[in-house]
Amino acid sequence: MRITSKGQVTIPQELRERYGLGAGTEVEVVASEEGALIRALPPRDRGAALVAQLRDRADGGIGADAVLRLTRGEA
Digit-coded pLDDT (tens) for 7-35: 999 999 999 999 989 988 889 999 999 99
Instruction: Report which of residues 60 and 35 the model is more confident about.
Output: 35
- Is the confidence at residue 4, as pLDDT, over 90? yes
- Is the confidence at residue 50, as pLDDT, over 90? no
User: How far is Cα 25 from Cα 12, in angstroms, rounded to an integer?
Assistant: 15
User: How far is Cα 24 from Cα 38, in angstroms, rounded to an integer?
Assistant: 15
User: How far is Cα 39 from Cα 21, in angstroms, rounded to an integer?
Assistant: 10
Closest listed residue to residue 28, CA positions, set 15, 39, 20: 39
The reported pLDDT for the residue numbered 46 is 74
User: In a 3-state reduction of DSSP, which class is residue 17?
Assistant: helix
Domain residue extents for the chain: 13-71
Q: Would the pTM count as exceeding 0.75?
A: no
The reported pLDDT for the residue numbered 75 is 64
